[in-house]
């Protein structure tokens, strides 16, 4: 369960955790730092943007997951699913983008963790 939490935290860091090229794009690669219960977790996210719709993937020590969500104003909201021993676990990432950096919260259903992200 702790691995699932760490993966969720990392994923959210991705998201999402993002740096934008101007206020209009979060597309590109992001390095995420998630403050998990057992310490920092590093993740990488790659995002694509089509208007307000955002898709991509997040890579954590627990594996890779596909993400989808929206980017409106400075708010990046994404979700993805990881398989846990108890079944699928939906993870939600809510971040605020400020230039080439992002910060926010990852909600993995049984707890939350904060994250930061920098665009590569």
Residues 4-56: pLDDT tens digits? 445 444 454 444 443 333 456 999 999 999 998 778 999 999 999 999 999 99
Q: Above pLDDT 90, what percent of the chain?
A: 63
Angle 81-83-88 (CA atoms, 0-180°, nearest 5)?
65
Per-state percent for the chain, helix, strand, coil, to nearest 5: 10, 65, 25
Write the class of the CATH domain 2-119. mainly beta
Q: Averaged over 50-71, what is the pLDDT? A: 95
The residue ranking higher by pLDDT, 37 or 107, is 107
Residue 83: its pLDDT value, please? 85
Q: Averaged over 66-83, what is the pLDDT? A: 96
The SS3 of residue 3 is helix
Domain ranges (residues) in the chain: 2-119
Nearest residue to 92 (alpha-carbon basis) of 113, 103, 77: 77
Residue 86: its pLDDT value, please? 85
């Amino acid at each position: 369960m702790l691995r699932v939490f760490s993966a969720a935290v990392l994923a959210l860091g991705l998201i999402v955790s993002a740096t934008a090229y101007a206020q209009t794009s979060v597309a590109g690669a992001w390095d995420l730092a998630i403050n998990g219960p057992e310490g920092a977790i590093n993740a990488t996210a790659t995002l694509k943007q089509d208007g307000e719709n955002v898709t991509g993937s997040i890579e954590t020590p627990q594996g890779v997951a596909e993400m989808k969500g929206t980017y409106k104003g400075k708010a990046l909201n994404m979700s993805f699913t990881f398989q846990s021993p108890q079944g699928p676990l939906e993870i939600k990432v809510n971040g605020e983008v400020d230039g080439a950096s992002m910060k926010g919260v990852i909600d993995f259903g049984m707890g939350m963790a904060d994250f930061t992200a920098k665009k590569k």
